[in-house]
A and B are shown apart, each in its own frame.
Chain A
Amino acid sequence: DADVTQTPRNRITKTGKRIMLECSQTKGHDRMYWYRQDPGLGLRLIYYSFDVKDINKGEISDGYSVSRQAQAKFSLSLESAIPNQTALYFCATGVGDRSTDTQYFGPGTRLTVL
C-alpha cells in the first residue's frame, strides 16, 4: 500500500464550487505539505503543517484553506474554485529536522476547473 495517498486522483468541477482534496499518510511523519504543479512554473507551496496545531501559509495560499484533522490527515479546500486553479496538486510528508526535512510526495490529484 502507498505511504501517502490522495483522493480523488482526478476531479473536474465548475467555477464557484467548493472542492476538498484529501491526503492521508501511514509514514508517521509530523510534517505535511500541499503543493500545486503548473506547466512551466514547477511546484509551488500552498500550505504546510508541522503538526496538528501548527499550520502555515506557503507562497500561494490565497483561495485555499487547509485542515489538519489528525497527524495522518491533511485536507486542502478550494472555497470557490476558479479556472486558474486547474493544476496537479501534490501532498507530501516530511521526515527529519523540520527545517531540512526530506519530503515524500503522494501520487497527485489532477484538478480541472471549468
Chain B
Amino acid sequence: AQKVTQAQTEISVVEKEDVTLDCVYETRDTTYYLFWYKQPPSGELVFLIRRNSFDEQNEISGRYSWNFQKSTSSFNFTITASQVVDSAVYFCALRHQGGKLIFGQGTELSVKP
C-alpha cells in the first residue's frame, strides 16, 4: 500500500529558529516520486519540490533544504532561519508510476515573531 505519514501535526517555533518537518512514506515500488507543497493561510497550494526515487541527492533552495533517505523511507524538509511568512501547512506527497498523488495529513507550522 502507498502511504505518507507526517507525524507532526503542529509545530511552533520562534523566528530565526531552524525547523525540520518529517515525512515518512511507504511504497512497494522501486520507482516513485516525492513532493512537498506549502499551503499558506490564504489557502492556495504551492508546489515546492519534486524528487525522483532514483535521485537521492539532497537539495537546497535558499533557506529550504530537503533530505531524501531511501534507507529510512524519509523525505524531510528543513527551513533554516525561519520567518513569519513560513507559517503554513506543509504537505508531503507520494506518487508511483501510473498512480494517484497521495498526500500526507500535513504539518501546520507556526513561526512566531
Contacts and interface: CB of A to CB of B under 8 A. Distances in A.
Q: Do A and B bind each other?
A: yes
Interface residues of B, number: 21
Interface residues of A, number: 19
A45 B101 contact: yes
Nearest to A110: B43
Contact of B103 (A43, A102, A107, A110): A43
A105 interface: yes
B103 A105 contact: no
B100 A102 contact: no
Contacts of A103: 47, 101
B35 interface: yes
Nearest to A108: B43
A10 to B, nearest CB: 10
A58 interface: yes
Given A42-B105, A58-B100, A59-B100, A108 B45 contact: yes
Nearest to A4: B44
A99 interface: yes
Interface string A42-80: 110100000000000011000000000000000000000
29 contacts: A40-B105, A42-B91, A42-B104, A42-B105, A43-B91, A45-B100, A45-B101, A59-B100, A92-B45, A99-B97, A99-B99, A100-B95, A100-B97, A102-B35, A102-B47, A102-B50, A103-B47, A103-B101, A105-B44, A105-B45, A105-B46, A105-B47, A106-B44, A107-B42, A107-B43, A108-B43, A108-B44, A108-B45, A110-B43
> Which 6 A-B residue pairs are closest in the complex by CB-CB distance?
A105-B45, A99-B98, A107-B44, A42-B103, A43-B103, A108-B43
Given A102-B50, A107-B42, 14 more contacts: A42-B104, A43-B91, A43-B103, A59-B100, A90-B45, A99-B97, A100-B97, A102-B47, A104-B47, A105-B37, A105-B44, A105-B45, A107-B43, A108-B45
